[in-house]
């Protein structure tokens, strides 16, 4: 990704890598390994949308999400719009078993776009981000069911994410948190019609239900959040800055959703009932692979003296040796993949009870939803 290029020299990269590999790691901005950067958030900022949110990071990067809903006729991919009725009458299934019908809900009803200034909107990186966030939302199969109106109609939800300025770091956590808040504040008009007739809605916006219900037994799931976690040496760092990402050995985007288990008894302690569930994971190509390598002073013939073809073979051999055995303090872009143990420890750190994810979700709960 072009915007991920850093202007750090190999020596700076090597220094950063070794300081981040320490236990505990020393991060350039003084954060602890599991600390997030401070951010401000507000919801309901755009009156023309069904739901919106704005999140602003301390470094000035800012994302705005607007959710728009439209009614659409359910068209079966196989042909006519009456297909579902047709199947129904053919199979002889009577009565409106809504749960059964909702199985027809499709993930395509959610459309998500990400716009990042300085990147083409068909850029592979942008598409990757949008797919990543979309997949996390749809992973549990419950989200699409929320968009089901009746057998003939459904909501089509457009989720548009706009980054106000070119990102200073990989914008994934920012976009994910903004999306989370926007969906929490999303309301769809209350349905007045019944059954499969053309949908009619209540004009009263105050009466419209939230997409993710706030109260009652249905207050179960909330939108997922996606965290970006990097591994540098043995350290695992959350919410990496651009410079940290530039030396990361591996980067993993982990999406989790919170499931509030209802025990059925009167003890409705929200925090104790929170359960984190992994919904999706993707490795992100760490930009460290594209950083320029350092040249150790032993193999540097620009510094050691004049260009001498006769001693060149020897120098080349020397260089090769150097290439194979990494030296302390000489930066070399990581080769190969990530060990399973490292991936596993990242996932454990994310899912840990009372860990970072809990902290983030607590923070998001503190946001005033209007």
Partner 1 sequence: MADRRRVNGPGSSTLPPVYDDGELDAALRRQRAPDAIRPLYLKTGVTPSASGSAYLEIEPREGEHGSGMKLTCTVHGPRSLPRSAPFSPYMVLSTHVKFAPFATKQRRGYLRDSSEKDLSTHLETALRGALIADRWPKSGVDVVVTIIEGESTRQDAVERRVEEWDVMNVLGGCITVASAAIADAGIDCVDTVSGGVAALVASKDGKDASIVLDPVALEHESILAACCVAYLPNRDEVTNLWFKGQLPSPASCNHQSLVSRAVQASRGTHGLISASLSEAIGSTQN
Partner 2 sequence: MATDILPSLAIPGTILGPASKYASGPGTHIYGGNIVSSLLGNVNVTAPAKAPGPTKRLNKITAPSVEELSTISVIRRGRKREVLPDVGNTVLARVVRLMPKQAIVVIQQVGDTVLQTEWQGVIRVQDVRATEQDKVKIHESFKPGDIVRAQVISLGDQANYYLSTASNELGVIMATSDVGNDMVPISWKEFKDPDTGVSEPRKVAKPS
Interaction pattern, residues 331-350, with partner 1; x per rule: CB under 8 A: --x-xxxxxx--xx--x---
Query: Please, which residues have CB within 8 angstroms of residue 211's CB and are 6 or more apart in sequence?
Result: 50, 51, 146, 183, 186, 187, 188
C-beta atoms surrounding 23 within 10 Å:
8
- 77 is an interface residue for partner 1 by CB under 8 A: yes
CA distance 346 to 343: 5
Query: Please, which residues have CB within 8 angstroms of residue 82's CB and are 6 or more apart in sequence?
Result: none
DSSP 199: P
- 367 is an interface residue for partner 1 by CB under 8 A: no
Indicate the residue among 306 and 370 with the shorter CB distance to partner 2.
306
**Among residue numbers 100 through 119, which ones bind partner 1 (CB under 8 A)?**
106-107
- 357 is an interface residue for partner 1 by CB under 8 A: no
CA distance 62 to 117: 11
Indicate the residue among 203 and 234 with the shorter CB distance to partner 1.
234
Query: Please, which residues have CB within 8 angstroms of residue 129's CB and are 6 or more apart in sequence?
Result: 114, 116, 171, 172, 175
Among 38, 117, 118, 141, binds partner 1 (CB under 8 A): 141
Among 46, 164, 281, 369, binds partner 1 (CB under 8 A): 281
Interaction pattern, residues 41-80, with partner 2; x per rule: CB under 8 A: ----------------------------------------
CA distance 149 to 213: 16
**Among residue numbers 274 through 313, which ones bind partner 2 (CB under 8 A)?**
307, 309, 312
Q: Which stretch binds partner 1 (CB under 8 A): 67-75, 145-153, 190-198, 273-281?
A: 273-281
Rounded least distance, CB 124 to partner 1, Å: 5
- 259 is an interface residue for partner 1 by CB under 8 A: yes
- Maximum C-alpha span of the chain: 90
Token output for 140: 């549990």
Q: Which of 172, 214, 147, 184 is CA-nearest to residue 53? A: 184
- 99 is an interface residue for partner 1 by CB under 8 A: no
CA distance 35 to 57: 14
- 324 is an interface residue for partner 2 by CB under 8 A: yes
Interaction pattern, residues 310-329, with partner 1; x per rule: CB under 8 A: -------------x------
- 301 is an interface residue for partner 1 by CB under 8 A: no
CA distance 179 to 113: 11
Indicate the residue among 136 and 236 with the shorter CB distance to partner 1.
136
CB contact at 8 A, 223 and 43 = no
CB contact at 8 A, 202 and 70 = no
**216 interface partner picked from partner 2, partner 1, none, CB below 5 to 8 A per type:** none
Indicate the residue among 125 and 299 with the shorter CB distance to partner 1.
125
Kindly compute the dihedral angle of the four CA atoms of residues 235, 236, 242, 244, in this order, to the nearest 10 degrees: 0
CA distance 217 to 98: 18
- 103 is an interface residue for partner 2 by CB under 8 A: no
Cα first-last separation, the chain = 36
Among 30, 47, 73, 78, binds partner 1 (CB under 8 A): 78
CA distance 119 to 166: 9
Q: Which residues bind partner 2 (CB under 8 A)?
A: 307, 309, 312, 316-317, 320-321, 324-325, 336
Q: Which residues bind partner 1 (CB under 8 A)?
A: 77-80, 82-83, 86-87, 90-91, 106-107, 122, 124-125, 127-128, 130-131, 135-136, 139-141, 252, 259, 261, 275, 277-285, 289-290, 292-293, 323, 333, 335-340, 343-344, 347, 351
């Amino acid at each position: 990704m072009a915007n991920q290029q850093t202007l750090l020299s190999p020596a700076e990269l090597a220094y950063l890598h070794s300081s981040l590999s320490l236990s505990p790691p020393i991060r350039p901005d003084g954060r602890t390994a599991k600390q997030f950067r401070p951010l401000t958030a507000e919801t309901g900022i755009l009156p023309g949308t069904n739901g919106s949110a704005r999140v602003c990071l301390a470094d000035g990067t800012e994302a705005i999400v607007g959710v728009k809903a439209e009614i659409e006729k359910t068209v079966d991919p196989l042909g006519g719009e009456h297909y579902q009725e047709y199947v129904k009458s053919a199979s002889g299934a009577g009565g409106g078993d809504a749960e059964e019908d909702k199985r027809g809900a499709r993930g395509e009803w959610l459309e998500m776009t990400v716009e990042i200034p300085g990147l083409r909107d068909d850029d592979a990186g942008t598409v990757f981000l949008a797919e990543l966030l979309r997949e996390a939302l749809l992973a549990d199969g419950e989200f699409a069911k929320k968009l089901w109106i009746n057998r003939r109609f459904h909501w089509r939800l457009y989720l548009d994410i706009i980054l106000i300025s070119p990102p200073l770091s990989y914008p994934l956590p920012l976009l994910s948190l903004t999306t989370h808040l926007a969906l929490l504040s999303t309301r769809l008009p209350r349905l007045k019609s019944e059954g499969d007739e053309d949908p009619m809605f209540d004009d009263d916006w105050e009466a419209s239900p939230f997409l993710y219900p706030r109260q009652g037994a249905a207050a179960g799931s909330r939108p997922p959040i996606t965290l970006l976690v990097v591994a540098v040496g043995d350290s695992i760092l959350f919410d990496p800055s651009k410079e940290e990402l530039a030396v990361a050995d591996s980067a993993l985007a982990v999406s989790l959703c919170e499931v509030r288990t209802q025990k059925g008894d009167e003890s409705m302690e929200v925090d104790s009932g929170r359960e984190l569930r992994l919904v999706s994971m993707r490795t992100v190509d760490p930009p460290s692979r594209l950083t320029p390598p350092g040249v150790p002073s032993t193999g540097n013939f620009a510094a050691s003296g004049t260009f001498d073809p006769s001693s060149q073979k020897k120098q080349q051999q020397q260089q090769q040796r150097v290439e194979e055995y990494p030296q302390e303090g000489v930066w070399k872009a990581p080769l190969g993949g990530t060990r399973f143990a490292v991936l596993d420890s990242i996932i454990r750190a994310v899912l840990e009870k009372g860990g970072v994810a809990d902290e983030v979700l607590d923070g998001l709960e503190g946001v005033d939803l209007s």
